[in-house]
Amino acid sequence: MLVTASLTAWRLLLSATSVLASPIVLESLDETPADWQESDSPDPDQIVDFSIGLQPEDSQLLDTVLYGVSDPDHPNYGKYLSRESAKALLNPSDEATESVKRWLTDSGIPEHHVRDEGEWLHVRMTVGQAEGMLSTRFSVFARDDERIVRTREYSVPHEIVHHIATIQPTTFFPVFDEAGKAEDSRLRLTKRDDKNGKKPPKDGNNGGPGPINLEKCKTELTPACIREIYKMPKNYPKAEKGSLFTVVSFLNVGALGILEFFRRFAPDLEGVTFRNASAAGGENPQSARIRSNEGNLNTQYAISLAHQVSVEHLAVGGFNYEFNPDLDLLKVPGDFTRSIENWLELAEYLLNLPDKKLPQVVSISWGNYEQHIPKQYARQVCNKFGQIGTRGVSILVAAGNFGVGVSCQSNDGKNTTKFLPTWPSVCPYVTPVGGTESNGPERAWLDTEYDQSGGGGFSDLFSRPAYQDKVVSDYLKKNEKKWKQWKNYINKDGRAFPDVSAFASGHQVMVNGQQFTAGGTSAAAPTVGAIIALLNNERFKKGKSAMGFLNPWLYKTGHAGFTDIVEGKTSGCPGASLEGFPSPEIPNAGWDAVKGWDLATGFGTPRFDKLKKLATQELVPKKASGSSRKRPEVGSDCIDML
């Protein structure tokens, strides 16, 4: 009996030990990404460099620090972090680092083949070693002349799985097509040439003398119209040293029509230009053969509205083909125009900028559906946007041009009918900008000709952040009859967007010497970005810091500087996808603009005069651990809060 009991206990112990030691699948792909073919096996002695992303020691630290420097009622408001301190926010625990390093050593990896960069361990090993450590088999995948070593699944030991976020390159297939010149087709401009090259008169609407014709502004929007309606200064104050507003372009989209734009619509700015920057091999090609609608729209309105603040055009290179396809964005073998933006490279570039070269405002007029982005990738990029926010940077993003979505169907194999939130609007660390149109009054933007409207909704991945909890809860309570009909299509507990809005219709833009009428939230984001850049300039004059991550201030105080939009609605789910396939039709789908914050326009549109008072007012002193010092430029007086 005793022997039997001992054997039973021994078997249980062996079983428990087996479970403890068994590898756990960390990441996997259901299928090989489109355009890639598995060809053969790699040489087991081939050297491969891997990056192991470690889980942060304190998953709440980023939120704690970010909200501390961004909440106007917090004693650390405006005391932004240095580059090194911001990067350290997601560092792992010593235990995590040592456990993973011990696993590497036990697997035969020499110590000098491991480089420790805090959040990441960079490791050099052979394919054979990697296969043994990750319980997988690597293959050579081919596309045209390219060959890469990847796997569709890998595992790590049970004892360390909770320490590791990702190991790459394994299941991720990032491809950089330097020859590609395609423009984003999912949040693209709505454009039509209705001018035939005719030069407009130099009246008030076009930057000349005389009053502004607001009726004309409804269909032909110019910088002068925007300045008049949003009560922006007509005379540009001199910018403080260090002021910088960055406008982002992806996929090698150019921006070259600025001189002609100023001649037509802002003659007082003739000769003003912008500076170029590049990340991941990005280019700003100055050729009429290159499509540049997006880049021109963004830079032309950013510079004309933010002058004299320096404006930088940041070209981010690379084409990322590793996305989750759906009915609106298929993967088609050989079609290299179908890709998502190189988000991680953008975030890494900004996070690693020296303090004195860091912009205070970044505007991004690009995006995808949230379901296009792999979840771990989305979390990683979003966290980096949060780290950038701790350095005093405001990130404005376009909320999207397709309302609640077009195909309105999940891409997880279940084909669930649902609204489709947009990325990166769903990230709680950015400020998404929706769209409006007309004036007297403004209303939620809805383009019936092109079936487009401002994006808005709830994230399926990110939960609702604390800063917007009361506002969104009040919205849901007061407007139950309006949203409850869509309850099966949304995650009402997710991060809600947009936060604010601006004009998204009628923008006059110059492309290759021709005048076009353009639209979309692509135009709205740089408009709000320009206003924030001007507000920063006003703060710098008073020795204050940049506004930084806007949302805690916006939801607590800043919303009083926006005009509430109570007319119009958004649209979506028409019954056909962007690719032309049948998809779920939801009659009358969309969000109504209502009193207060809503899913159509957020808090509404900016009034510079009101925002200036709110942004420059003196705050009630709070007890703090350190003294509050003047900061004429972001990065000149950063503190270490760790």
Per the annotation, binding residues for Ca(2+) are 564-565, 596, 598
Could you give the CA distance from residue 599 to residue 472 in angstroms, rounded to a whole number? 9
279 in Cβ contact with 312 (< 8 Å):
no
Task: Dig out the tokens for 137 from the structure.
Answer: 């088999």
Could you give the CA distance from residue 258 to residue 260 in angstroms, rounded to a whole number? 6
478 in Cβ contact with 407 (< 8 Å):
no
Could you give the CA distance from residue 611 to residue 547 in angstroms, rounded to a whole number? 12
Could you give the CA distance from residue 453 to residue 104 in angstroms, rounded to a whole number? 51
The dihedral over CA atoms of 4, 9, 12, 18, expressed in degrees to the nearest 10, equals -110
Q: Which of 127, 118, 121 is nearest to 105 (CA)?
A: 121
Q: Residue 535: helix, strand or coil by DSSP?
A: helix
361-364 and 394-398 beta bridge pairing: parallel
562 in Cβ contact with 578 (< 8 Å):
no
Could you give the CA distance from residue 336 to residue 320 in angstroms, rounded to a whole number? 10
Could you give the CA distance from residue 507 to residue 608 in angstroms, rounded to a whole number? 20
606 in Cβ contact with 431 (< 8 Å):
no
Task: Dig out the tokens for 246 from the structure.
Answer: 């960055």
- DSSP H or E run through 473: helix 469-478
Q: Write the burial class of residue 19 (CB in 10 Å: 0-12 exposed, 13-18 middle, 19+ buried).
A: exposed
The dihedral over CA atoms of 226, 227, 231, 234, expressed in degrees to the nearest 10, equals -170
Q: For residue 149, how many other CB atoms are within 10 A of its CB? A: 17
- DSSP H or E run through 140: strand 139-143
Q: For residue 609, how many other CB atoms are within 10 A of its CB? A: 12
Q: Residue 575: helix, strand or coil by DSSP?
A: strand
Q: Which amino acid is at 138?
A: F
CB neighbours of 579 closer than 8 A, spacing ≥ 6?
327, 328, 329, 330
305 in Cβ contact with 226 (< 8 Å):
yes
- DSSP H or E run through 228: helix 223-229
575 in Cβ contact with 582 (< 8 Å):
yes
Phi then psi dihedrals of residue 388, to 5 deg: -65, -40
Report the largest interatomic distance among the alpha carbons of the chain, rounded to a whole angstrom: 105
Residues at the binding site are 564-565, 596, 598
276 in Cβ contact with 241 (< 8 Å):
no
